[in-house]
Structure formats: structure tokens, C-alpha cells
Amino acid sequence: MPLLPSRNCLAAAVATPMTSDLRPDSKRMIEFVHYLFSQGVDGITIFGTTGEGPEFSVSDRMATLDALISAGIEPQRIMVSIGALAFEDSVTLLRHATGQGVYGCLLMTPCMYRGGITDDGVFEFYRQIIERGGRDDLRLFVYNFPDISGVTISLRMLRRLAEKYPRNIIGVKDSGGDPDLTRQYILSFSEMSIFTGNEIDLPELNPLGLTGTVCGLANIMPTFMRTLTDTANSYEGRPLVEALRAADAILSRYPFIPSAKAIIADTMSDRNWLRLMPPMVQPPAPQSAQMVDAYRRWEQGAAELLPAAPEIAVHSNVTPIRIA
């Protein structure tokens, strides 16, 4: 059933373009996803943290998935984040995405409770979602992102969950930034697909059996991330990791999502990509332009580390506008 590769898998945690009334812009997302695929990306995750997902309504999230599939994007190349603050919203999103035949659903615990959450509580959260979802064909990825959720997915809890639902718990996306824990996931759960959200760890973890990465950086540097995802070991990946740290110094001048959307807007020649869901805002235009220009200079230097890149797709339905 899955179209995504079991090793060296590059999945973009896709940013969400928006209409003027701050709803997902399916047309622009479809165009952007095709661009990412043309640059070597294997699959996508929609409405995760990079995609500002929890701020969109359930109906808009479902309609966007429907639009992507109707446009010919294979559902088996799509992972859907079903995280929401309302419990039943996650259940509704689970049923819909699974019914559409997606590669998998991605779920972290709600972010508003950050203290005193036990393994038993985390297990009960996933148990209730799975049971209420009522889908035997559910493929669920447990999402470890303690900086947002306040909860670390322990090996003990994950083993308990996998033993209870062996057909449904198929993997982990680990954005915790702790390569030692990611390593333990890989070595302890060989039957699962383990993705890292921490891109610099790819060369170190690939030899251990890492499935790949679900990452926000694939939005802005897909060919670079394709090369990094394919590295065989830390020695081979060292120059790429050093270059990535230099890029991070540029991107981290501002929060990641505004930085990423500014670069996407430049790539796609489309200022509509600059829209953000409040409370996030774009930095003042001159500072944003300086960041984008610095990134483009980095990109030119980093190109020396890459194999010949594919031609960038032409976007004839947008008006070229340089960010300024």
C-alpha cells in the first residue's frame, strides 16, 4: 500500500498557503507540492506544526486533503497531522484521512497540558483516539515533540501501545532533538518506521535503519535535503551538516515559519505565501528581504556540495514579485 520508500525517505512538512481570509489555499498548495516532488521530495505531511495545522478548522483541513487527492496527488504519498485541542476533532480527522487511504496519520498529545502527564495518561490519550476512530485500517505515527506538547514519548509507553495495537501503530516522528532517543526508537522498534524531524541527525542515524525525515526545511531547500537524506554515514554527511548549520544561522534570525514562507514566496514568485496565522507575523519587509538575500547567497555556495540539481519548475500562473 505505501508508496513512500522504507529508507532514505524525504517527506516535506508542508507550509500552508492561505487565502486573504486566512483559510488554506488548496490551489497554491497543489502547485507547491508538485514543485516539491519535481525537486526530489518523496512525500508530504500536511497541517503539522510547520503547516500551522491546529489553527485551521476541521472542515478546511478535510477539504484541503480532498483537493490534493482530486488533483492527482497520490494519497499514499500524504501523511496527515490530525492533532487538535478538541478530542473529537482528532477523531473526525482520523476517520476522514484514513478513509482517503493516506500513508498515515500523525498525532501528538494536546499542548495545553504540560505538567504531570504520566505514561498512563499518554497511553490513554492514544487508546481513546484509536478506539473512537474505529478504523481497523488506521496507520498511526506517534509524534514526539516535547517542546510543543510538553510530553516525551517513552520507550515503555510506545511498547505498550504497539503491543495493544500492532496493526495500527506503525511509526514515530521524533522532533525532540535528542539523537540518542531517536537511536533508541530505531533499535527498539525495528518493525516501525522511524522519522526524524531533526535534519542534522540524518547522517548519524541512517546507518542504524532510520526511515527518513519529515522536515520543514524541505519546503525551502528540497534538493539539499534530498542529498542529506541520502547520505550513508556521518563522514559522508559532515560537509552537508556544516552547511546546514550555516543556513540555520540565517533562518533563525526570525521564527522558522515566517522565514520559510518568505523564502517560499520568493521561490514561487508569489507574495500570497507571506500570509501567516496570527499571532505569528512577518518581520518588516526590509529585514525579511535581507534574510532572503542572505539565504540565496548561502544557497549558491551550498550548490557546490550537491549533484546536478533538476530544473526548477516554471510557475506561469503567478506574477513574479521579488520580496521587498
3-state secondary structure of 171: strand
pLDDT beneath 50, residues of the chain: 309-324
Q: Work out whether the CA dihedral 145, 149, 153, 158 comes out positive or negative.
A: negative
Q: Are 237 and 50 in contact (CB under 8 A)?
A: no
**295 φ/ψ angles, rounded to the nearest 5 degrees:** -65, -40
| pLDDT attached to residue 309 | 47
Q: How far apart are CA 263 and CA 218, in angstroms?
A: 12
The amino acid at residue 66 is D
Instruction: Could you list the beta-strand ranges (E) of 47-190.
Output: 78-81, 104-107, 140-144, 169-174
Query: What pTM did the predictor assign?
Result: 0.92
Q: How far apart are CA 58 and CA 62, in angstroms?
A: 6
Q: How far apart are CA 210 and CA 173, in angstroms?
A: 11
| pLDDT attached to residue 320 | 33
Q: Work out whether the CA dihedral 133, 213, 78, 110 comes out positive or negative.
A: positive
Q: Cell digits for 199?
A: 535534519
Q: Cell digits for 317?
A: 500562473
Q: What is the pLDDT of residues 261-282, one digit of tens each?
A: 999 999 999 999 999 999 999 9
Contacts 24+ apart (CB under 8 A), 252-261: 253/287, 253/291, 254/283, 254/287, 254/288, 254/291, 255/280, 256/50, 256/216, 257/15, 257/50, 257/52, 257/216, 258/282, 258/283, 258/288, 259/291, 260/15, 260/50, 260/216, 260/219, 260/220, 261/15
Q: How far apart are CA 145 and CA 176, in angstroms?
A: 5
- Cβ neighbors of 259 (< 8 A, separation 6 or more) are 251, 252, 253, 291
**279 φ/ψ angles, rounded to the nearest 5 degrees:** -90, 5
DSSP labels, 121-148: HHHHHHHHHHHHHT-TT--EEEEE-HHH
Q: How far apart are CA 266 and CA 299, in angstroms?
A: 13
For the chain, domains (ranges, CATH) are 9-232 (3.20.20.70)
